[in-house]
Structure 1
Amino acid sequence: MTKLLYLECTSGISGDMAAAALLDLGASEEAVRRALDSLDVGGFSVEITRVRKSGLDVCDFNVVLDAAHENHDHDMAYLHGHDHGHAHMLDHGHAHGHGHDGDAGRSHGHGHSHGEHHHRGPREIAALIDGAAMTEGAKAIAHAVFGYVAAAEARVHGVPVGEVHFHEVGAVDSIADIVAIAVAADDLACDGAVVTDLPCGRGTVRCQHGVIPVPAPATAFIAEAAGLPLTPVDVEGELVTPTGAAVAAALRTGDVLPERFAIRAVGMGAGKRAYDTPGILRAMIIEPLT
């Protein structure tokens, strides 16, 4: 039987939404927690709960920071300046608190004493992934997602990829989201993934250092690099985050559904931002029919 993952991104996609949808679809929570617990970072825990969205019972994936590291809204480290010749990113940090469960970068802090870095580069993040308790397949997915994000942020800031650094307050949250997604996607063991058009909202969002257009520059660069199809929608706000775009790019093997298919499983993941959209990512396992 051919088994495809279908990500229905009508309301957008972000890290938290994707992790929740894949877990709700049947991915092993035990495998996800084992991988997260094995990460050589601290200052965070993960809550997997049920919430109501548009009257529906939906899975919610929430990375909770300890009191010392809690920050405001979080989504892949962004625009923290160019100190020391590096592009330091702290998350989109949208001050207005909008956005789908900001994936990346919620400011986890380092909590342990293994070296008080203030930022992490691609090499450090790759080492964290390689050292985690997860399969080679899951590691490959995580590396692919971070690869898209790092390359996009390097273009945003006009620096080599090796000089992109994610601030500690953003990096750990991003790592947790992406590792959870990678483990969950690998555990579902699908033969491919169909990702439908991503909704392109309109307007601007406020980040740490000013106002930026939607889609955010990093999201646009990922869409360009991966050839992700976008559809304009009349919603003001950021429906697709950089991490969400990177996940779509890393998992997607096609953007067209089979002519006929049977649904074998359904999962729904909750977004956390308040927009004129349900804020739900629906994931399905489908079997093409002849």
Structure 2
Amino acid sequence: MYKPTSLDRNIIKQPWFNLMKPENAELLKWIWLDESDSIGVVEVDWDGFEKFTKGIVTKKDIDIVDFVHDCNNDGKERMRFLDRGRKIWFTPTVLFKHASNAGFRNLGANDRDASIMRILSQRGETRDWIVEQLIYNDRISINANLVNKVWNRKDATENEKELMERIAKHLNIKISKSGTSPAEIKKNYGNVCQYSGELCQEWELEIDHVLPRSNGHKDVNQWWNLVPCKKELNIKKGDKNVFQFIKEEGLELLPGVENAVKRWVKKGVLDYPRYYPNKRNKKEKLFTWDQVVGYVANNASASTSDYECVNPEDSSEMKRWRKKK
């Protein structure tokens, strides 16, 4: 049996709900109670709906286009089509059922809205909706404070940051990015050089642009392109391509640099050279010769003959081995 559910205190007391056709109101109750996922995306289970209404309202009674329009009868976009009409999206599911599940306490409207933005960043379809339909949003007040609050969270994901950057560009908002001062960058990486992997004193490190500033790309000063680096390595790297530099110095592609490289590859600015075959096949694990020798030394049943070189034409320091299949 249907129980009144909290939505602006009580969904069934809302003026727009009381204007809905009875059959559409029943479908909305079903979606609200049982169907929508954590961000309100719905592919209607019609068999479940008919059991819910005990056969009084069936699929034949529902015109899904009319239903969506009925949900938005006062001009506010609560329901919209997704996936070329195969799915629908009920925005209040996020606004009222799941807003408290994204790391913010409900201390105020801005905290709630920030948590909503984090949830909506989970899917491309809802991220696109925010950017394209900002003027139709009837609950979230998007402003510079909200954008900065989400972007600067320590646990913010790449999706969240990208979404905030898109919104900022759309609304001409400047993001005040924390963590981009030299001291903060060094601290964020634990004072570890992102080329050599060495733990250093703060004064031993400088800030390197993974993609050099001489490239002229508009994003070279973004936080993700800045990594701490030993002074002598920074001087050696200069304006060199990051892969060329790593190869010349016999270094590993460490997480801080790799994060920037992935961004540039995604943007089409860089591409992995042939001596990083593991980047083309992420399931394939590659080893340096020292790693192979170390493993064999600690495992009596292992032998160096169990491994094969994947790039024999390269210099010895750049060669990588994999376990024979």
Same fold (TM over 0.5): no
Structure of greater Rg: 2
Which interval holds the TM-score relative to the shorter structure?
A: under 0.3
Greater RCO, CA 8 A, separation 6+: 1
> Which is helix-richer, 1 or 2?
2
Please give the TM-score of this superposition, normalised by the length of structure 2. 0.22
Higher normalized strand content (fraction of residues): 1
